[in-house]
Amino acid sequence: MTSSSSNDVQRLSCHLGIDVGTQGLTALLATDEAVASTDATANTSSKSFRMKVLAIGEASYGFVPGLAKDCYEQNPQDWEDALLKALKQIQTKLVEKKLSVTVRALCVTGQMHGCVMLDCNGNALGTARLWCDARNQSEEAKSLRELGLGCAEGRDARPLSLDSIQQFHGVRRAALEPLRHASNQS
């Protein structure tokens, strides 16, 4: 859907896609573009739609420094900062192209099996342990024992929800360790 106003700004209905990746965030703004086609042999015509990319914004972020080998965590605030940076890039491109948009659909994809602990106000309690963190595998057996589930053979044999459960138990243990240490000192 397209319209223009007297100041030559084109107005479009768009779709916004956001991918929160392991090393960076990409935002993509696209619109439907109608494409007419005719089949001469069948004497028919039809209209299909394809996505037309209007603008892309990107920002990268790193891992929490100083962790042990094969341990990967990120600060959730880095994701929010990257999103704002990517959207600002898209906004700048839209102004340059004299486009005004209405976002009518939003798609957000993210890293698999991450764990972000939130307080009652929705604020992150700390860093997010990522899916690729080696500690997750060692937490799995502990989590299964604590839940009374036993150990499943092979990665495909266990419930998907265990990825978050094992991270939760790992984060919980890490948060409680200083308290245990302090109580042992008393």
Residues 15 and 88 in one domain: yes
Tell me whether residue 33 is exposed, middle or buried, using C-beta atoms within 10 angstroms of its C-beta: 0 to 12, 13 to 18, 19 or more: exposed
Is pLDDT of 101 > 70?
A: yes
Local confidence band at 160 (pLDDT 50, 70, 90 cut-offs): very low
Residue 141 shares a structural domain with residue 97: no
Q: What is the pLDDT of residues 22-36, one digit of tens each?
A: 999 999 999 987 666
Domain end residue (candidates: 78, 112, 146): 112
Looking at the fold, whether 14 and 95 belong to one and the same domain comes out as yes
Closest CA to 116 of 175, 65, 75: 75
The helix (run of H) or strand (run of E) holding residue 141 is helix 135-147
Same domain, 16 and 86: yes
pTM over 0.85: no
Residue 90 to residue 57: CA distance in whole angstroms: 5
In a domain, 178, yes or no: yes
Q: Which domain holds residue 8?
A: 2-112
pLDDT at 152 over 70: no
Percent of the chain with pLDDT over 70: 65
Of 22-31, 32-41, 106-115, 176-185, the range with the highest mean pLDDT is 22-31
Both 163 and 105 in one domain: the answer is no
Q: How many domains does the chain have?
A: 2
pLDDT band per the 50, 70, 90 thresholds, residue 110: confident
DSSP 124: B
Domain boundary among 80, 112, 144: 112
Using the predicted structure, report yes or no on whether residue 41 has a pLDDT greater than 90: no
3-state DSSP call for residue 158?
A: coil
> What was the pLDDT predicted at 181?
58
